[in-house]
Amino acid sequence: MSNSMWGGRFSEGPAAIMEEINASIDFDRKLYRQDIEGSKAHAAMLAAQGIIGADDAEKIREGLDTILREIEDGSFKFSRALEDIHLNIESRLKELIGDAAGRLHTARSRNDQVATDFRLYVRDVIDGVDAALHELQVVLADKAFAHAGQVMPGFTHLQSAQPVTFGHHLLAYVEMIARDRGRFQDARKRLNENPLGAAALAGTSFPIDRFATSAALGFDRPTANSLDSVSDRDFAIETLSAASLCAIHLSRFAEEIVIWSSAQFRFVRLSDKFTTGSSIMPQKRNPDAAELVRAKTGRIIGAETALKIVMKGLPLAYQKDMQEDKEQAFDAFESLELVIAATTGMVRDLEPEAANLKKAAGSGFSTATDLADWLVRVAGLPFRDAHHVTGRIVAIAAERGVELNRMPLADMQAVHGAITDAVYSVLTVDKSVKSRTSYGGTSPKNVRAQAKRWQRALAREAARRS
């Protein structure tokens, strides 16, 4: 049996395998709200332009409202034979209001319809992600302020480097997330153009008002080229790119949580809410939430790569390949929203193990740079000479198994005679972090100021939204 939505061109129905590969309703039903929103705006514009009658437009509006309620209460019957969300809604609309339903598709195509729906969906995703990232920043900034003076080891190459503070470390992620939010906001600005009215690829001969539908749907303006309008998926790729980089940042933090919560580090405690046990080892508290944040990043990056590969060889304008733009994108965006929520929860409940952090901060000769700086500042050595002297002292300390702040003065003076007992004032981890007062440095005073700055900025943003 032919698909009645196709009119008279086809006399036979599709093969079973064709239906299987062609149908997208199993996943694009997620666009139902955006599809109905776009159809209502289109019908209202058609009536305002005198292209369809006001009575028909009202019937269409009422019918679409009924369909929205049916989908949301679960009574709507989706059909794979009708392929996609657009034809499923249009078919049900015809059942509800009769021939007036056929007027809705005047001056549009499924090509511009799906482009509009997908833009609306991605825009909604960006708004939701931005709100979630704002909350994560608030939690990180609050935690950073509370632990601005908590000393911990700073690492390079995952080797002990210099002491930093726990608050300073958390603020690094606040900065990363700020850049993530900026990328999402930039993507939103570029996607916020309306393809509705581009029709199949060439525009339409009907006297439509694309500025009216743009205003109704919250777009800044209509798209300017009908070919580009229906064939563009840059907005999805760009948003997936922002999602990928955001997920990478969250994955890096998740990796640190996994390491920090291990028995070998014991830097932080995770609550029972975000850990699991073992079926055989009763002592285990596994950081599964962090591990899954780390793992789901692969799905998000994969979705970006997959869509780029779909688009890379497509001539203008619309191609059926572009049906593959949504399923993995939906999964990626849902995964991102999940990992943001999980990370926010972990940070909110996470508590640093102060004694272990401080002990670790002093290991690995982490104040060696402070010794070199002291030799420059007090003894007047060029930094390269100070670096060499400090390296010799570190080698002796390593051989004897003592930290720098416990090295006998005589042994240090044997390496360089200008060293006095005043050097011990810079060799503790507390003194080290307090000395890092350069802008952006880890001194507790700096960290409190930066955390407070973020708290105020995020609070002002929340007030503007409310």
CATH of the domain at 91: 1.10.275.10
Residue 8 lies in a domain: no
Which residue range(s) make up the domain with 373?
Answer: 363-465
- Number of residues that make up the chain: 466
Residue 265 has a CB neighbour count (10 Å cut-off) of: 16
SS3 102: helix
Close Cβ partners of 363 (under 8 Å, ≥ 6 residues apart): 153, 160, 403
Phi/psi at 159 (nearest 5 deg)? -110, 150
**What positions carry a catalytic annotation?**
157, 278
Distance, CA of 168 to CA of 181 (rounded, Å): 20
Residue 112 lies in a domain: no
For residues 291 and 372, the answer to whether their CB atoms sit within 8 Å is: no
Residue 215 lies in a domain: no
Residue 273 and residue 350 in one domain: yes
Residue 216 lies in a domain: no
Out of 340, 360, 380, a domain closes at: 360
Residue 348 and residue 383 in one domain: no
Which segments of 272-321 are extended strands (E)? none
Strands 193-194 and 221-222: parallel
Query: pTM (2 decimals)?
Result: 0.92
**Helix H or strand E segment including 322:** none
Residue 283 and residue 414 in one domain: no
Residue 187 and residue 280 in one domain: yes
Task: Give Rg (Cα) of the chain.
Answer: 30
Residue 1 burial class via C-beta count within 10 angstroms: exposed 0-12, middle 13-18, buried 19 and up: exposed
Q: How far is CA 126 from the centre of its chain?
A: 9
Which segments of 106-258 are extended strands (E)? 151-156, 159-165, 193-194, 221-222
Residue 117 lies in a domain: no
**Helix H or strand E segment including 356:** helix 354-361
Residue 175 and residue 242 in one domain: yes
Please give the structure tokens belonging to residue 153.
Answer: 């080891």
Please give the structure tokens belonging to residue 223.
Answer: 């798209």
Residue 331 and residue 444 in one domain: no
Question: What's the total number of domains in the chain?
Answer: 3
Residue 130 has a CB neighbour count (10 Å cut-off) of: 16
Out of 106, 133, 159, a domain closes at: 106
Q: Residue 163 has what pLDDT?
A: 96
Residue 245 and residue 327 in one domain: yes
403-428 burial by CB neighbour count: b if 16+ within 10 A, else e?
bbbebeeeebeebbeebeeebbebbb
Out of 106, 140, 174, a domain closes at: 106
Strands 159-165 and 151-156: antiparallel
CATH number at residue 321: 1.20.200.10
Residue 11 lies in a domain: no
Residue 393 and residue 426 in one domain: yes
Phi/psi at 434 (nearest 5 deg)? -65, -25
Site of tokens 């601005």? 148
Residue 397 and residue 353 in one domain: no
SS3 428: coil
Site of tokens 């890379």? 312
Residue 433 and residue 460 in one domain: yes
Cα dist from 116 to 50, 235, 352, whole Å? 23, 11, 47
DSSP per-residue letters across 387-422: HHHHHHHHHHHHHHT--GGGS-HHHHHHH-TT--GG
Residue 95 and residue 134 in one domain: no
Residue 113 lies in a domain: no
Q: Letter for the amino acid at 177?
A: I
Residue 250 and residue 189 in one domain: yes
Q: Residue 1 has what pLDDT?
A: 37
SS3 295: helix
Site of tokens 């203008």? 316
Q: How far is CA 257 from the centre of its chain?
A: 18
Residue 4 lies in a domain: no
pLDDT tens track, the chain, 466 positions: 345 555 556 566 677 787 778 789 999 999 999 999 999 999 999 999 999 999 999 999 999 999 999 999 999 999 999 999 999 999 999 999 999 999 999 999 999 999 999 999 999 999 999 999 999 999 999 999 999 999 999 999 999 999 999 999 999 999 999 999 999 999 999 999 999 999 999 999 999 999 999 999 999 999 999 999 999 999 999 999 999 999 999 999 999 999 999 999 999 999 888 887 777 776 778 889 999 999 999 999 999 999 999 999 999 999 999 999 999 999 999 999 999 999 999 999 999 999 999 999 999 999 999 999 999 999 999 999 999 999 999 999 999 999 999 999 999 999 999 999 999 999 999 999 999 999 999 999 999 999 999 999 999 999 998 8
CATH number at residue 459: 1.10.40.30
Distance, CA of 217 to CA of 41 (rounded, Å): 7
Residue 153 has a CB neighbour count (10 Å cut-off) of: 23
Closest by CA position to 243, among listed 118, 127, 129: 129
Closest by CA position to 206, among listed 333, 108, 124: 108
Close Cβ partners of 175 (under 8 Å, ≥ 6 residues apart): none
